[in-house]
Amino acid sequence: MENKTGKPDLEETERNFFCGSFAAEYRTAFLATFLIGLATHLKQIVGGFPSGDSLNDTGYVGGTALGRWFQPAVQRIVSVYDPPVVLGLWSLFFLSVTSCLLVYLLELKKKSCIVLGAGLLVTFPAVTAQFAYLFVADTYQLALLLAVVSLCLTKHYRNGWLAGAFTLAFSLGIYQAYLAFAAVLCLLLLLLDLIEGRAWREWLGKTARFLAMGALGLALYYGFLRIAMAVERVELSSYQGISGMGIPTIGSLPRLSLEVYREFAAFAVKGELLFHSRFTLLSVAVLAAAAVWAAVLGWKKGKDRFVRLASLAVVLLGLPLGTDILMLASPKVWQHTLTRMHWVLFPLAALALLSRQAGRQAGRQAGRQAGRQAGSFSWLCLAAAGGTGGSRFPGL
Q: What are the sequence ranges of the domains in the chain? A: 10-49+66-389
Using DSSP's 3-state secondary structure scheme, residue 68 falls into strand
The span from the CA of 181 to the CA of 147, in Å, is 8
Q: What 3-state class would DSSP assign to 108?
A: coil
Going residue by residue through the chain (396 aa), what tens digit of pLDDT does each one get?
A: 445 544 444 445 445 544 554 578 899 999 999 999 999 999 888 877 766 666 665 555 668 888 889 988 888 777 667 788 888 999 999 999 999 999 999 988 888 889 999 999 999 999 988 888 888 889 999 999 999 999 999 998 889 999 999 999 999 999 999 999 999 999 999 999 988 887 788 889 999 999 999 999 999 999 999 999 999 888 887 776 676 676 766 777 788 889 889 989 888 888 778 877 788 888 888 888 888 888 888 777 767 777 888 888 999 999 999 998 888 877 777 788 888 999 999 999 998 888 877 765 554 444 445 444 444 444 444 444 444 444 433 333
Q: How far is CA 311 from the centre of its chain?
A: 22
Which letter does DSSP use for residue 250 in this model? G
For residue 99, give the nearest of 130, 123, 135 by alpha carbon.
123
Residue 251's contacts (CB-CB under 8 Å, 6 or more residues apart) are none
What does the alpha-carbon distance between residue 386 and residue 294 come to, in Å, rounded to a whole number? 24
Distance of CA 30 to the CA centre of its chain: 16
Q: How far is CA 202 from CA 190, 197, 249, 270, 318, in A?
A: 11, 10, 32, 38, 20
Q: How far, in Å, CA of 285 to CA of 291, rounded? A: 10
- Burial class, 323, CB count within 10 angstroms (exposed 0-12 / middle 13-18 / buried 19+): buried
Contact 65, 237 (CB under 8 A): yes
Distance separating alpha carbons of residues 380 and 378, to the nearest angstrom: 5
